[in-house]
Homo-oligomer: A and B are copies of this chain.
Amino acid sequence: MSGPYGYTQAKALVYSKYGEPGDVLSLHTFSISPSLPSSTLLLRTLATPINPADVNQIQGVYPSKPPFTSLLGTPSPSAVGGNEGCFEVVSVSPSITSVAKGDWVIMRSTGFGTWRTHALAGESEVLKVNKDGLTPTQVGTVSVNPCTAYRMLKDFEPLVEGDWVIQNGANSGVGRAAIQLAKQWGIKTINVIRDRSDATATEDMKKELLELGATKVVTEMELMDRGFSEQVRGWTNGGREKVKLGLNCVGGKPTSALVKCLSQAGHLVTYGGMSKQPLQLPTAALIFKDIKFSGFWVSRWSDANPVEKKRTVDEILEMTRLGMFKDVPVQELRWDWGTEESVLKEAIQGTLGGFRAGKGVFIYGDT
């Protein structure tokens, strides 16, 4: 919001100690001078999602922890929550030519707190995106989940058309992205979802994922059934088609059952552990079946591969623009200048409950 003397009035959700978001977050108001430091952009926030990892970061249980600073003039050194988002360039310092007023940008790396109405960012901290035909939510949610799915499908096993991938958490943001990307690349998918409370809800979810491009959708109970690997043999032409890759965000026993469906020399890539149970690896799967186990963390990948990140983001956004890549279901949470601190904090705290109809995304209004 415009303040006196050309200053911008801004707000940010900050925390100065780790804990539950409802306890430690506060809404801080600050102002940004109209004379920008060199190589700096003034950004207005358009959309920022709430990812589960954002909440874990505030709880202090996430390995990447942004430093607490006094840059925003908070009473004690603090960090801004959030890691992803879509921003509009409001103004740039004179030397900057790579982006201009009105352009949209995303953050190059995670760790730049994004839950704020405005930000000053270094030119090298942002990636410009082509905004034509896209919504702020589409741009603001591309760097974590879709990039995770894209890289897991590309960087661990060389998949060719007709190969299979099996994944759990198929209804998640990553899972839905993997279904769509695999479909476009001619890769077939076996998708495991959690059993719903009633059969109709389960069937609806299966139908939704099949429409998105899934080849097969099964519940965790179906996966755990003794006969399931025989069923997979049937789907894969008696094992002649290979299940080369598994994507895991669950862990525990259901993941051991998933590993049994991988073909000889298959690869399980873990990117989450929703069950909070470790993986159990039978020795024989490693030695005789030659199964490989790796992990993927999109923050590490982004930091190590900035050029490839831009290329990946651009490709996914182009698919989105062409209608070939559908958004995850979203619950928009409006953030206006007058929105109460308690409303914003509840939106974040509620993310861990897990019963939101879609991914929570702050949409910034008259800020």
Chain B CB within 10 Å, residue with most, of A251, A293, A295, A297: A295
**Stretch of A121-129, A167-175, A284-292 that contacts chain B:** A284-292
Instruction: Indicate how many identical chains form the complex.
Output: 2
The contact string, 1 if C-beta is below 8 Å from chain B, for chain A 187-230, is 00000000000000000000000000000000000000000000
Is A290 touching B280 in the complex (CB atoms < 8 A)?
no
Whether A287 lies near B283 (C-beta < 8 A) is no
Please tell me which stretch of A30-38, A112-120, A268-276 contacts chain B, meaning at least 4 of its Cβ atoms lie within 8 angstroms of it.
A268-276
Closest to A264 in B: B300
Which of A63, A271, A283, A294 is packed against the most chain B CB atoms within 10 Å?
A283
Q: Are A63 and B284 in contact (CB under 8 A)?
A: yes
**One of B270, B278, B284, B292 near A287 (C-beta < 8 A):** B270
Minimum CB–CB distance from A15 to chain B (whole Å) comes to: 21
- Given A278-B280, A280-B278, residue A286 in contact with residue B270 (CB < 8 A): yes
Q: Contacts A279-B280, A279-B281, A281-B281 given: A286-B294 contact, CB under 8 Å?
A: yes
List B contacts of A284 (CB < 8 A).
63, 273
Instruction: Give every chain B residue within 8 A of A294 (Cβ-Cβ).
Output: 286, 290, 292-293
Q: Which residue of B lies closest to A289 (CB)?
A: B295
Report the minimum CB–CB distance from A22 to chain B (whole Å): 25
- Is there an interface contact between A288 and B295, defined as CB atoms closer than 8 Å? yes
CB distance from A77 to the nearest CB of B (A): 25
- Rounded to whole angstroms, the CA-CA distance of A297 and B291 in the bound complex is 12
**Between-chain CB contacts (< 8 Å), 12 pairs:** A63-B288, A270-B281, A270-B283, A270-B286, A272-B283, A279-B281, A283-B295, A286-B294, A287-B295, A288-B297, A289-B295, A292-B293
